[in-house]
Amino acid sequence: MYTKKKYSKRDMMRWTKRETRFFLFFAFVITILYELLGLQWMQLPWTPIALVGTAVAFLIGFQNNAAYGRIWEARMIWGGIVNNCRTWAMMVRDMVNNEHAVEPRTNDSLKKERTILIHRQIAWMSCLRYALRQGKPWETISKSKSHKEWTEMLNLPELNVPLEEELGRLLSKDDLAYVMSKKNKANAVLTLQSKHIRELKDAGLIWEFSFLELEGVLKEFFTLQGKSERIKNFPYPRQYATLTYDFVNLFIFLLPLGVVPEFSEIGVKLIQNGHGLGEYFVWLAVPFSALVSWIFNTMQRIGTAGENPFEGSANDVPITTMARGIEIDMREMIDEEADEIPEPYPAVYDIQM
């Protein structure tokens, strides 16, 4: 996700450079055919084109609203993950103690139990974000050439670092083997968490009411995971996305056929009124047509880019950066050494991963 507004305008032009070149070329060709080669039949009344443009604008607005709703919901879900992870760290830090222990443990032993619970919860976030970054057949942004450029620049860890390697720094060998043997690895991690706190409760290291509170937090983690998976696994209805894409392309195709004759007529009137500019006025249809086409195409692409907020584009929810930020907070809450705590992921070209 972008961190600075001033870069988004420049990068937006770079993002749509291929389409912009096509719009200029297409309008230029239509103008040549109409004005220089005398193909006057290549024209359409402006009124029906304007009506098509109005209908397309409504469709684009609907798509963008729906896409923004998915992005906002995804951001709210991960905001909940942030809050609950901090809550988990606080509760583990204060509730795992010898107050009701059958056999009291040493401070180092208690600290080890707390560290396992904290690191395992960080591993849950890693499993979840890796799952959310996996491609789906309906996620088309990752297949575009412009997005591949961004992906290479961002260098997303989920696409370059194996999950097993990421989990290896957080889980024990037994836990790692168990998690990697399951299809839903995030679910497996929470299962281990529940089993662990039950064992601590049986040993008296967690009070029974504290155990219920911790189980409640785990329940909320399951809920947030399910909401994230719902957005990931349920695509924006393809009939709307496909129709909007086709209608935008239809409008872009028809636009020069109405714009060029209009500018030509204006040029004729200017010549009749003695303005020398009128002879060349028709060529202004090229940038004007390209501009209108660019606006409609870009708005449609913005909606398409927002349909899948976990895909990994520059405008998605930055779950990688958020997860690393939560990890740092949780490790600091149990007073780990500074050299053991990883650094935040830096913004790349002012984009958070």
**pLDDT value of position 151:** 64
The burial of 121, by beta-carbon neighbours within 10 Å (0-12 exposed, 13-18 middle, 19 or more buried), is given as buried
Q: Is the pLDDT of residue 40 over 70?
A: yes
Place of tokens 């919901």: 73
- Report the SS3 class of residue 351: strand
Q: Is the pLDDT of residue 47 over 90?
A: no
The per-residue pLDDT for range 253-300, each reduced to its tens digit, is 999 999 988 888 888 787 778 777 777 788 888 999 999 999 999 888
The per-residue pLDDT for range 76-123, each reduced to its tens digit, is 999 999 999 999 999 999 999 999 889 999 999 999 999 999 999 999
**pLDDT value of position 6:** 47
∠ CA 223-75-130, nearest 5°, is 70
Q: Is the pLDDT of residue 312 over 90?
A: no
pTM: 0.85
**What's the mean per-residue pLDDT of the chain?**
87
Tell me the C-alpha distance between 181 and 188, whole Å. Answer: 9
- Percentage of residues in the chain having pLDDT higher than 90: 55
* For residues 224-247, average pLDDT: 87
The per-residue pLDDT for range 155-190, each reduced to its tens digit, is 788 888 999 999 999 999 999 999 999 999 999 999
The per-residue pLDDT for range 196-209, each reduced to its tens digit, is 999 999 999 999 99
Residue 338 token pair: 């500074």
